[in-house]
Structures are given as structure tokens and as C-alpha cells.
Chains A and B, each alone.
Chain A
Amino acid sequence: MRAEKGIFYRIDWVLVVLYLVLVLMGWLNIYAAVYNDSHQHITDLHQKYGKQMMFIVASILLAIIIIIIDPKFFAQFSYFFYAFFLFSLVMVIFAGREISGSKSWFQIGGFGIQPGEFAKMATALALAKYLGSLDHNIKNPRHLFMAAAIIVIPALLILAERDTGTALVFLCFVLVLYRAGLTGWVLLALLALPVLGVLTLSMNKFLLIAVLFVIAALLYLRTRRHSRHFLVILAVFLASTGFVFSVHYTFNHILEPHQRQRINVLLGINTDLKGAGYNVNQSLIAIGSGRMWGKGFLQGTQTKYNFVPEQSTDFIFCTVGEEHGFIGSLVVIGLFLSLMIRIVLNAERQRSKFSKMYGYGVASLFFIHVSINIGMALGLLPVIGIPLPFFSYGGSSLWAFTILLFIFIKQDTQRYELV
């Protein structure tokens, strides 16, 4: 009795409340996005909001089960989960169902399940397990390579399913590696690469290389002209040049035409409002028309009348922007930031390195989903189809994030122990 009561008190209720608030807001938003006059009841199981309600109920059951389960279970079975989902990722390539171009779904009865959604969670566990082991040090290139492999293998499999968006998500684990000790230059490079990429696509690549050369030369002249500096600068310069050419090549020869279009639209090279630019333009119209306070719950016209495509999934944030305005958007972004920061702070207080690394994995996953999804709805990023946690319609995503979060909440209850 005492122990169970202890668990109850050790649960971080702030996280639980944040979770519940976000899930409830998500549900109401799906209702608003799909709402139509002939099916008004929010629990109508034939409508998306009715189904989402079922998913929510199931999620809460899952959460309770996770809280009850022995905390050592997840750490111990991390690699097993990882292997299981790698296997299902391979399976889905052969047995999966193709939905809008990506073959990432298992059809089980009436529901589709995306193993990719769960693979993120499994990767976070496996990475935490690997980095959490006292034997492993990120400064050791072999260990770094192993950690990187844990991240890259599922990403490559998902890429093979032609689900680029989900594969991109795995990039977020760099933050975990960083916290584990990876050099900060990697973060800088990650920041610099998109800038360089955008420049490559918007200007002449030879001119760009010339500019890079000048910068490299100036940097070298400012240093004490050690041969070590020279080699580093030369390496960075050559890498950048290679990157410029590879971006150029990738863009023109590897990307699919629709992806090329999306990027062109984003960079303002092409404003095809009826074609590739339609989604983003309509999304901005919906959000922009919300003004300060929004049009009110169920009063949004752009989302309700389907002007925004994929409004219940990828573009769900439009409903928030349109119906609840700037203030409502601020609240949602604020809640997500609170959730992520709370997770990071909680992760920091873990005695177990596994729990700590896992916490960073959880926060990073939330971070990249929120960033890409909202960034896309606001026209800041190209259209990449990944869900907004707790808001986008769909069972797989909701369950995966619930499991992801509650495993951390459970680990957090054991924060004084070295699991």
C-alpha cells in the first residue's frame, strides 16, 4: 500500500495535466475541423472525432498500464522493442498498405497502424539504453558510430517506405547525442546546412562557392596560421562545396517533382497557388483570418469547409489559428514549450543515465514534431507530412506519443534510483 501511494505522489502531475489538456484541446480541434451539421455529436463513432475519442480512451488505459508496470521493464526490453519495430518496419515495406504515396501502414481490421510512429519511441528507448550504459562514451568514435547507427537504421527503413517526413524526425536525436557529449559544432553545422541549402537553390552555385572560398580565406588569415587550423578550414570548405553540389544534385535528380515543387514554393521561386502552393496558401489564409481572438469554436469557415487540405491531420494547427486566433495559437505553442521544457528539466534530475537520455529523446521528439508541423502550417518549412502531437487525428500517433511520454513519467517516479 505504502509503495503504491508513493508512486501516486511521485508522479509529475504537471506533465500529466499538460498531457490531458493538450489531448483534450486536440480532440476539440478535430471536432471543429471535421464538424458538419448532419453529425453534430462529438462522440459519433462514425466521425473522426468519435474515433479520436476512442483513441484517447485507449491512450489513457495505456498510460495507466505503463504507470503500473515495473519501471525496469522498459530499460530491460529497450533493445527488444527496437528490434521488434525494426522488424515491423521491414515487414511494412512488403506487407504494408500504400496511402498517399507512402507504404507505411499495416491494415489491421478497420484500423491502420503506422509502425513508424512507434519506431520513434523504440529508437528513443534503445538510444537511451545504449548511451545510458556506463561502458559507452560518445567521445569514443566507435560508440558514436553505434549510437548513430541506432538512429539512422530505422530512419533509412522509413525512407524506404517513402515516408520522408517521418524519417526526417530522427534528426532530432542529435540533441540527445549533444546532451550526451557530442561536440556543439554538429548543432552549428545542422543550423548552417539548411542555410547553405537554401542559398544553393536560390543563387548560382559557383558564385556561392566563390563566396565560401573568400570566407574560408579570411578565416584562415585571422588565425595564427597553424597547419591544424588550415586543415580544419580546408576540410570545412571542401565539405561545404561538396554539400552545395550534392544539394544541387539531390534537388534536381533525386527529389520527386512534388517535393521539388514544395521547396520552390517555400523559397518563393514558384508561387503556384492552385498547385503545390495551394496547401500552404490556404493554411495561411485560415490562420491569418483568425486575427487576434479567432472566429470562435466551430466558427472557422476555412477549415470547416475544407479549404485547407489534410486539416484534421497535418494541417490541424490551422483550426487553432483560425478559430482561436493569435491568443489561442500562443496558448498551444506555450503548452508545447512548457511540456518540452518540463521534460528536459525532469530529465536533468534523473539519477539513472538511461532515464535522463530517454527524457531528452522524448523532449527532442516532441520538439521536432511541433517545429516541423507548425513551421509547415505557417509556411516556414516545406510541406512535410508529420503529425502535431495530440492534435493530429490518428490512433498510431496519439498512442505512440502517449507511450513515449508516460514511459518517461514512470521513469521519473524512480528518479532517485539507478535503474
Chain B
Amino acid sequence: MERVLAYRRLIIIGIFLSVGLIFIIRLFYVQILVDKYILSANNNVLRYIIQYPARGLIFDRNGKLLVYNEAAYDLMVIPRQAKNVDTMELCRLLGIDKDEYTRRMIKARNYSPYRQSIFEGQITRENYGFLEEKLFRFQGFFVQSRTLRKYSYSIAAHTFGYIGEASPEIIDANPYYKSGDYIGINGIEKSYEEILRGEKGMKIRVVDVLNRDKGSFQDGKYDTLAYAGTDLYSSMDEELQEYGEKLMAGKKGSIVAIEPSTGEVLCLISSPSYDPNLLVGNIRKKNYRNLVFDTLYQPLFDRALMAMYPPGSTFKLVDALVGQQEGVLFPTTTYGCPGGFSLGNGQMVACHSHPSPLNLMGAIQISCNTYFCRVFRSIMDNSAYPGIRQAYEHWRKEVMSFGLGKKLGLDVTGELNGNIPTPAYYDKYHGKDRWKSMTIISLGIGQGEIGITPLQMANLAATISNRGWYYVPHIIRAIGRKDSLNPDFRVKKVTDVNPAYFEVVVDGMADVVTSGTARASQIDSIEFCGKTGTAQNPHGKNHSIFIAFAPRLNSKIAISVVVENAGSGAEWAAPIASLMIEKYLKRTVKRRDLEERMMNADLIHGINIKNESGKGHFLPD
């Protein structure tokens, strides 16, 4: 019996071996064949902690710090570890109610009970002070340091732009950005985003099942350092910018100043503006909404780059230059002015009373409408071209060579093209080739469909002061090291007009200030050249416009000033421009009462408008 059953040892051993074999096959599958377990293992224990670099700083042209970073704190929570929290106290410190606390807690727990979530983002240093001393009482909460943008001066909000959290669309489009990252949304912050942002770093930490830190992964072999963003050196003159913003207080409009020899933007003012510190950190959302809904002031609208104005009489300078280039106008050309330019259909472009007849210089000085209507008509009806269409196209090309009608390429986002109408536009409006010089005559005095931004106007002044060329305006003169500028800004843009034709125009502009339309704005110690403009518009009173450059030779500043619905160019824009010129060239302004009158005038509400002895004092243009 016993002997017979001895074979059963083999069956039992066979059972042992088969189970062992099943295990080995299973182990082979789990450990060698499939990858998902090792991936899950890394997921379990590795935490990738982003090291946020400090954003680059921005300095003004004199080395003043304009934009910098301040430490800010994200209050983080690990829901699983948040126990015995004095909810009332924490809510009080954060200024939230119990429901909000619960809501945020649920959100964090849904993300992960073991991993950190942002409970309150971007707490400023001041507010963090209150929290810090009590933080130890809130188990499971801790802070992670970030940085907040800070502005030394409450100026140039549009130009600086602002930063905000990268949107899901941006994250999808650009793998660099992860949820919670900040990105420049407009202004310099956007156009120089890749330079300012620096390089994020990554620390890989090992954590246990309760997300407790257990040290670096493989002694930090795979960690990367964060590199701070590169600093930007702006050509902006902080004092000039601030001064201009004060002058524009209570007015809608814009001031743009450029250094003609370099194309460097000295100031870029859009009024009304806002304090850039409002759009920082956790107050940004609320403040942004308030700014968006402020439809009276439209503070977010960057007029310097986005508003298109008819240039009014300032455009007569372009007529003068293009007319000479086209061979239909000479400095000696004289036209009489019978008080207006008759359109032949009973209608008339009116002109103010002035000595007549005038030559070109005189016409610029006095800003004679009749003269420049005739100049424009002679350009359009030039017999050198087969028809007005060709003449117009040629005119348009030459006008656009001054940087008008298209984006100049400023290194701040938001710039618009302006508008120099195409022939197709008139075809559409009047019918194909059914328009004549008389139909579009208002272009000659800078009215009608033409639209020019304040930046383009300032660039026009710079181009005239350079006698026919300009550099693309730019507000950043150096990136990090002082010599590293975008090469596009070193390419001279030359107009289609021969430099020789500029002298008479410059002489005329000098006369505008000394004895012409803007003579009330002259500065004793500085010889400067300017041109007034009074742009009719459908929104109310005329826009007051002035463009100028100073000094007359080797100009240091070219400027455009637009004050919306304020009246004639001589009344508001010219004095403001002259104050800006004085401020920039002399650093102090001697004409204190003019300065005070300009600063205090609130044209939006019609307060403190006591401009000398009334309208008669200012010559119309």
C-alpha cells in the first residue's frame, strides 16, 4: 500500500512547481514586459517642483528702476494634512467667509488630498506679514514664494502692460507654459516676454505616501536651475513721462516723444491712464473688471498706439513735401486765398482770414487751407500720370514712406495701422474711377478718411527733423548688455522725398512757433519747429493736435500731442508740447503759470478751462 502511493510525491512536487512557474510567468509579465508599473511608481514618489525665476527688471533711460519684483506668497494647502484648523481665524486673515473656505477646500481635495493646491494666490508681502506669525497654527497650510510685479512710479501703465496666468489656450499652444505660470499679456511684458521671463527650473523631490518630502531625487542629478529673466533698458525718460501724464490729467489724448536721431521713444502717454500697480497679484481680477467697465474714461485703451485721428493741418507738411517731390510745388509757388477753396459745386473749404497771397513757407506758418487744397489738387491732377488713380497711388506710396498708414513696428504690443485709404476704397464708395481730386480734396488738409496714430504723428515730426529718414521707434534701447538691440531698430527708413525739399518745410515750421499759429507757445531759450492741427471729428469739439521737434538743428526730441475734443491745436496741444520740450531739454520748466493752467484744466468735465483771453487769441489753422 505504502509503496504504491509513493508516486504521489511526484504529483505533489508537480503542484509546487506549477505554482512556482505561474508566479515566475506573472513576475516576468509585471516586471519585464509591461511599462505601466514603473511609470506609476515614478508618479507615486516623484514630485516635480517648478522653480520660478525672477522676471527681468526694466530701467528708464537714466538708469532709474521702473519695474521690479517683490516677493509674494501663495498660500498652499495639503487637504489631507489640514487638521484642527482654526477656520474662523484663517478666514479672517484672508478676508474670506466660511463658505468660500469650504469651497476652496473641496476644490483642493478634489484635485488631490495628498498634493498641494493653491489656496490663496499672490499674497503681498504686507498681507503676508499678518499671516506669517500665525501660520504655524494652521496645520497643512504652508506658503510657496512667488514674485509680484511692482512699479516704482505709477506711470506708463499701457506701455508696461501687465502679466497674468497663462490661459489654457496658451498652455496648449506653447509647451513651455504650465498651469499657474505667468505670462506677459500686453505692453512690453508681452513683446519682450521671452526675454523677461527667464528660464524656469525644476527640482525633483521624492515624497512618501503622505506627500512628505524625503529629499532630492538621485541627489539632484536631474534638477535644473532657474535663470532669472534679462533686464531691459528702456529709452523712456521717467521724469518726462510722469510730467506728461500730469499735463494730460483730466484730458483724453496722447503724448508721444521720440529722439529723432535714434528712434528711441522718450515717452508714450495715453490719457486717461491707471496705476499699473492695480493690475498686480490677487487684486488684478477685480481692478481689471472695474477698468474694463469704465466706459467714460476707457482707461485700458492705449490712445498713443491705437487711436486713429485725422491729422488735420499737421498733414499739410506732408502735402508740402510730396508736392515738391512730385514737381508740382516749389518754395516760390504762390496761391491767393479768397477765404476758402471752392469745390466748384457751390461748396467750399473755408479758411480763416490772413494775408494773401502766400508762398509755401507762409502757407505753412499761417496754415492756409486754400493753399494746400490747391497743392493737393495739383498732385492729383498731375499731367505726368495718365490719370488720377495713378497719381493717387503714387501719392499714397510717398505718404506711406513716412511711416503713415501702417504699423511702424514699435516694440510695444497694440499698435494699429492707421489709415491712408486705398484707391479701392474710393472705388467702392464712389464707384470705380468715379472720383476726382475734388472728391477727395479734404485729404489735402488732413481730414476725411485719413487716420493717423499719435505715434505716427511723432514719428512724422522726427522724420522731418531728420530731413527725410527715421528709425523704427522703439522703447527698449538695450536688452541686458547695453549693446544688444534688435537690429531692426538700426535700419534707417528713408522717405521717398528728396532731403533737399525739407528745408523750406522746416523753416515754415519754425515760423509757426515764432510768428505763426503756435506763437503763444514759444520758448525763449529754445528754437523749435512745430505745426498745429485742428481735427474736425464726429465726436464733438475739434481735436487739438500739435507736432514739433526741438531744437531746430540736431533735434533731441520730436513730439506729438493730441487732446481730444479740446479745440484748436494752438489752444491745448501746442502749449503742452512746448512744456514737454522745455522739460526734456532744460529739465525744469520756467513757465509755471502755463504749466499750472495746463495741468489743472479738466477738459473731460469742463473744469478750470481758462485759457488766456478766449478764442480770439489763438489763430485757427
Contacts and interface: CB of A to CB of B under 8 A. Distances in A.
Interface of A: 175, 178-181, 184, 187, 281-282, 284-292, 301-302, 304-307, 321, 325-326, 329-330, 333-334, 336-337, 340-341, 344-345, 347-348, 353, 360, 363, 367, 370-371, 374-375, 378-380
Contacts, number: 123
Given A288-B36, A344-B9, 15 more contacts: A181-B1, A287-B37, A291-B38, A292-B32, A301-B44, A302-B45, A305-B206, A305-B214, A307-B209, A321-B30, A329-B27, A337-B20, A353-B2, A367-B16, A379-B26
B70 interface: no
- List 3 tightest A-B contacts by C-beta distance, closest first: A288-B37, A305-B208, A289-B41
Contacts of B19: 367, 370-371, 375
Contacts of B209: 305-307
A408 to B, nearest CB: 15
B332 interface: no
B31 A285 contact: no
A290 B31 contact: yes
Contacts of B17: 337, 341
B23 A378 contact: yes
Contacts of A180: 5
Interface centre among A288, A307, A374 (most CB of B within 10 A): A288
A121 B590 CA distance: 109
Interface string B50-82: 000000000000000000000000000000000
Interface of B (DSSP majority class) = helix
Interface string B4-43: 0110110111011101101110111011101011101110
B31 A288 contact: yes
B27 A321 contact: yes
B80 to A, nearest CB: 13
Contacts of B32: 291-292, 326
20 contacts: A179-B8, A184-B11, A187-B15, A287-B37, A288-B38, A288-B40, A289-B42, A305-B45, A305-B207, A306-B209, A307-B209, A321-B31, A326-B27, A333-B20, A341-B13, A347-B9, A363-B16, A374-B23, A375-B23, A378-B27
A348 B9 contact: yes
B500 interface: no
B106 interface: no
Contacts of B20: 333-334, 336-337
A380 B26 contact: yes
B424 interface: no
B12 A360 contact: yes
Contacts of B1: 181
B283 interface: no
Contacts of B24: 330, 333
Contacts of A378: 23, 26-27, 30
Contacts of B207: 305
A284 B37 contact: yes
Given A181-B1, A378-B23, A302 B44 contact: yes
A301 B12 contact: no
B27 A340 contact: no
Nearest to B40: A285
B225 interface: no
Nearest to B17: A337
Interface residues of B, number: 38
A264 to B, nearest CB: 20
B567 to A, nearest CB: 73
B210 interface: yes
B13 to A, nearest CB: 5
A341 B16 contact: yes
B16 to A, nearest CB: 5
A329 B41 contact: no
A345 B214 contact: no
Contacts of A321: 27, 30-31
Contact of A326 (B9, B16, B22, B31): B31
A179 B5 contact: yes
B45 A329 contact: no
A375 B23 CA distance: 7
A181 B45 CA distance: 53
Contact of A380 (B2, B22, B208): B22
B319 to A, nearest CB: 78
B27 A344 contact: no
Nearest to A302: B41
A336 B20 CA distance: 9
Contacts of A333: 20, 23-24, 27
A340 B36 CA distance: 34
Given A302-B45, A307-B209, A360-B12, A285 B37 contact: yes
A284 B26 CA distance: 10
A289 B37 contact: yes
A301 B23 contact: no
Contacts of A175: 12, 15
Given A285-B44, A344-B12, A326 B28 contact: yes
B100 to A, nearest CB: 27
Contacts of A288: 30-31, 34, 36-38, 40-41
Contacts of A179: 5, 8-9, 12
A287 B40 CA distance: 11
Contacts of B11: 178, 184, 187
Contacts of B210: 306
A291 B44 contact: no
B31 A291 contact: yes
